[in-house]
Amino acid sequence: MKSLAVNNLSFNYKGCQRTLDGLSLKLERGEKLFVLGLPGSGKTTFLRCLAGFLPAFVKGDIEGSAVFEGKELLNADTQSSLGTLSLVGQNPEEQFLCTTVSDELACAFGNQGMPVQKLGELVDWGLAAYDLEKQRNQDLLSLSGGQKRRVLLAIDAMLGCPLRLYDSFYDGLDEKWKAIATRSIIESDATCICMSSRIDQSARLFSSFALLKDGKLTRVPDFQSLEARVDLSIQPGLQRRQREPVMLQASDLEISYRGGFDLKVPSLRVRTGETVGLFGENGSGKTSLARVLCGLDKVRSGKVICESRIGYLFQNPDYQIFLPTVMDELCYPSKPARLSRARKARVEEALKAFGLAPDAIATMLPPSSRKALQAAVYYVLDRPICILDELEASLDFQSAMRMLRLLESTGAGILLITHDKALQSLCSRVYQIEDGIVKEVVHEA
Amino acid sequence: MKLDPRVKMALAVCLTIIVFLPLSVYGIAIYTAISIIFSLLLQGLSGTLRSLRSLGLFLVLIILMSPLMERSGQVLINLGAFHLLYRDGLVLALATAFRFVSISMAFSSLLGSSTQIEILMSLYALGLGRRSCLVISLTLSFIPFIGESFKRINESQKLRLGEDGHFSRWLFASLVSALVMTLRSTAPRAMALESRGCMLTGKLTGLVKLQSPLRAVLQTLALAAGFAVSYIGVRLI
């Protein structure tokens, strides 16, 4: 019996071209579908249409139908979908409604009047299943990217809806949690659709696969066929510009974080012209270390030495975009009209290299272009050392690698924080966080 | 000190009302001291200092502007032929500043020592409707979101500009960006509200177990009686 039937679904945002163009899909009850789609292919739009959020919350035109277990989903009252479908969105911070982890987990059930004792038991289960017990009373905004994602996955598992939708499924999760989250989906009875811009080996466990391209969904027979369509080829690095050598050096660092971990960094070095990896599990302190290296946070002991200012690409590009247009953003702090000839040439080079339109409204760009803008800013600033914190979020491998290669071409030393194995292979040296200690490990580039 | 959030709300309301009753500036100062003591007990020294620090700029403005509004009584400071400060002006400035501190400390200790859900459940227990609870819940969750966004954007600007950046430029750009981020997050947040059943009617529950209503009422009555007695005492002094 068909559980979900989507017929000729088309959607366009008001005044824009079609994002979804006659998309059709049929899923059996309990089928788990993994959908691969490049950034901007319409993954989020498709899931939001199914959840009834479009065009209810963002204006646009919708056509077609989507029926789940005999119930029409498109344009449905979202209240009536409660208990039927759940959606884990792309950016966790925009979905949090409470201030602490346990309250967030309880929120949906408290709204339905679940008795306090039962609610407590359910929250305890969610915290234990997603290893969030230590973070029970922690401020949600102080969690690491992966922990925030786990909070949403815990809520989703607790809701236990028969139709579950996941956007940017693997973003922010480390290898261990990618596998656990995938297994938890596979073992459930629910019909699931997981969208991702990157392919991961854990996705092998899914029962069916599809590719989202040009607003249409194409089924592929198996994981291998999907993998074959993904370009994981490594592009050779661009010629690195020779520049004055600069070294970022940290020694005997001890970092404490309000989330409860202590991190020790006996020694860490990044020189201009090299790409160094920093890997570790979710919540192990990668971002905290990056913040210390940039001088944003203080350390308990130890020292960080760098003769130059460091560039730091945050996990969330939205924090680094604050001006109206792409051009304004790249020229900041100067005005576009007042740029020196050399700087103007650099900005134009960045626009071309990162595929950005100068007059585009910066904050309205799709996530992948916002990420590109964030990288382009530091390309123009030409810092000798750059820290890239989970560059791969919202990007496919090729886009992430292109950005990395462009930043490398400035001759800068790059400290790459990533969970993506393919990107990890591009590093010449690697530091790993294990048991709260940062160690240099043997690595094959 | 642990207090039921409903009692803390009553405390904040009592402190707000009492500093507007007919009192001398010394009387208002006493209640300001009481509000600071409550803040110390409820949110500790660091929380109290943080709250006081955030009031600094407004206090300076009050102290500078208020004396100019009241130009009667004994002249205290002359600037050539111009009478700069009158006694009544000074009293008005002090009274306004004390009231401001008192009210701010009362509510900051309520917010600083209670979680969002505690406040929400308390308001619900006091008879507030689900929709009103939702508005308050959203407001309380937006405050840290905007605060965090502002902090991160500010950090990002510092990283980009270093010491070259001008404070006003940082501040303006960070504020605008934080607001843009907040506005952009409105649609996803509305979607999250819908998908978590926040618009449902019926009983609202949460992880918080409030103490028995009778106990809360008794504590509130005792608090109100304490304020009434102290008010008479302060008036007599």
DSSP per-residue letters across A46-113: HHHHHTT-TTTTS-EEEEEEEEETTEE-TT--GGGGTTTEEEE-S-GGGG--SSBHHHHHHHHHHHTT
Query: What 3-state DSSP class applies to B151?
Result: helix
CA distance B27 to chain A (A): 38
Q: How far is CA B64 from CA A211, B20, B68, B79, B88, in A?
A: 66, 21, 8, 15, 14
Tokens standing for B117? 């859900």
Q: Tell whether B10 is covered by a domain.
A: yes
CB atoms within 10 A of CB A35: 26
Measured between alpha carbons, how far is A301 from A221 in angstroms, rounded to an integer?
Answer: 55
pLDDT of A364 higher than 90:
no
- The partner residues of A256 in beta bridges, in order of sequence, read A262
Query: What pLDDT is recorded for position A260?
Result: 63
Dihedral (Cα; A363, A368, A371, A372), 10-degree rounding: -100
Query: What pLDDT is recorded for position B164?
Result: 57
Percent of chain A scoring above 70 in pLDDT: 98
pLDDT of A445 higher than 70:
no
CA distance B104 to chain A (A): 21
Per-residue pLDDT band for A332 (boundaries 50, 70, 90) equals confident
Chain B residues inside the 8 Å CB shell of A98: 116-117, 137, 141
Cis before A245 (ω within 30): no
Helix axes A101-111, A145-159, angle to 10 degrees: 30
Give the list of residues 6+ apart from residue A348 with CB closer than 8 angstroms, or none. none
Residue B216's domain comprises 5-114+209-236
Q: Which amino acid is at A267?
A: S
Nearest chain A residue (CA) to B147:
A141
The answer to whether the CB atoms of B141 and A99 lie below 8 A apart is yes
Number of domains in chain B: 2
Query: What pLDDT is recorded for position A277?
Result: 95
The answer to whether the CB atoms of A319 and B153 lie below 8 A apart is yes
The answer to whether the CB atoms of B156 and A319 lie below 8 A apart is yes
Measured between alpha carbons, how far is B122 from B8 in angstroms, rounded to an integer?
Answer: 10
User: B69 and B26: one domain?
Assistant: yes
The answer to whether the CB atoms of B145 and A93 lie below 8 A apart is yes
User: B138 and B91: one domain?
Assistant: no
How does pLDDT run across A35-94, given as a tens digit for each residue? 999 888 999 999 999 999 999 888 999 999 999 999 999 988 777 778 899 999 988 988
How does pLDDT run across A307-317, given as a tens digit for each residue? 889 999 998 88
User: B73 and B20: one domain?
Assistant: yes
Measured between alpha carbons, how far is A201 from A182 in angstroms, rounded to an integer?
Answer: 10
Q: Tell whether B201 is covered by a domain.
A: no
User: B59 and B87: one domain?
Assistant: yes
Per-residue pLDDT band for A259 (boundaries 50, 70, 90) equals low
Measured between alpha carbons, how far is A25 from A29 in angstroms, rounded to an integer?
Answer: 13
Which of B159, B170, B176 is best to mutate for the A interface (most A CBs within 10 A)? Answer: B159
User: B105 and B11: one domain?
Assistant: yes
Closest by CA to A51, choosing from A74, A35, A29, A32, is: A74
User: B191 and B215: one domain?
Assistant: no
User: B219 and B108: one domain?
Assistant: yes
Is there a contact between A279 and A441 (Cβ–Cβ < 8 Å)? no
Chain A residues inside the 8 Å CB shell of B200: 79, 82, 111-112
User: B226 and B136: one domain?
Assistant: no
Give the list of residues 6+ apart from residue A94 with CB closer than 8 angstroms, or none. B185, B188, B189, B192
Using CB atoms, which residue from A99, A114, A321 is nearest to B144? A99
CA distance A206 to chain B (A): 25
CA distance B218 to chain A (A): 24
Using CB atoms, which residue from B116, B149, B199 is nearest to A79? B199
Chain B residues inside the 8 Å CB shell of A96: 141, 145, 192
CA distance B133 to chain A (A): 11
The answer to whether the CB atoms of A82 and B205 lie below 8 A apart is no
Chain B residues inside the 8 Å CB shell of A115: 205
The answer to whether the CB atoms of B173 and A86 lie below 8 A apart is no
Using CB atoms, which residue from A78, A319, A321 is nearest to B195? A78
- The partner residues of A389 in beta bridges, in order of sequence, read A417
CB atoms within 10 A of CB B77: 12
Q: Tell whether B142 is covered by a domain.
A: yes
Measured between alpha carbons, how far is A416 from A290 in angstroms, rounded to an integer?
Answer: 10
Q: Tell whether B120 is covered by a domain.
A: no
Per-residue pLDDT band for A1 (boundaries 50, 70, 90) equals low
Measured between alpha carbons, how far is A333 from A339 in angstroms, rounded to an integer?
Answer: 10
The answer to whether the CB atoms of B176 and A322 lie below 8 A apart is yes
Q: Which amino acid is at A62?
A: I
Using CB atoms, which residue from A79, A95, A100 is nearest to B192? A95
Using CB atoms, which residue from B165, B176, B205 is nearest to A110? B205
Is there a contact between A151 and A290 (Cβ–Cβ < 8 Å)? no
Is there a contact between B1 and B88 (Cβ–Cβ < 8 Å)? no
Q: Tell whether B20 is covered by a domain.
A: yes
Chain A residues inside the 8 Å CB shell of B176: 322
CB atoms within 10 A of CB B142: 15
Which of A91, A99, A332 is best to mutate for the B interface (most B CBs within 10 A)? Answer: A99
Q: Which stretches in chain B have pLDDT values below 50? A: none
Query: What pLDDT is recorded for position A326?
Result: 95
Using CB atoms, which residue from B152, B180, B205 is nearest to A363? B180
CA distance A86 to chain B (A): 7
- Break chain B down into helix, strand, coil percent, rounded to 5: 75, 5, 20
Q: Tell whether B202 is covered by a domain.
A: no
How does pLDDT run across A185-223, given as a tens digit for each residue? 999 999 999 999 988 889 999 999 999 998 899 999 999
User: B83 and B133: one domain?
Assistant: no
User: B36 and B9: one domain?
Assistant: yes
Q: Tell whether B135 is covered by a domain.
A: yes
User: B68 and B135: one domain?
Assistant: no
Using CB atoms, which residue from B137, B159, B180 is nearest to A312? B159
Is there a contact between A172 and A148 (Cβ–Cβ < 8 Å)? yes
User: B177 and B228: one domain?
Assistant: no
Which of B160, B180, B211 is best to mutate for the A interface (most A CBs within 10 A)? Answer: B160
CA distance B184 to chain A (A): 9
Mean pLDDT for A420-424 is 88
The answer to whether the CB atoms of B206 and A110 lie below 8 A apart is yes
* Centroid of chain to Cα A230: 18
Q: What pTM, to 2 d.p., does this model score?
A: 0.84
The answer to whether the CB atoms of A79 and B200 lie below 8 A apart is yes
Q: Tell whether B152 is covered by a domain.
A: yes
Closest by CA to B83, choosing from B101, B93, B96, B70, is: B70
Q: What is the ipTM of this complex?
A: 0.84
How does pLDDT run across A95-127, given as a tens digit for each residue? 898 889 999 999 999 988 899 899 999 999 999
- Break chain A down into helix, strand, coil percent, rounded to 5: 35, 30, 35
Q: Which amino acid is at A108?
A: A
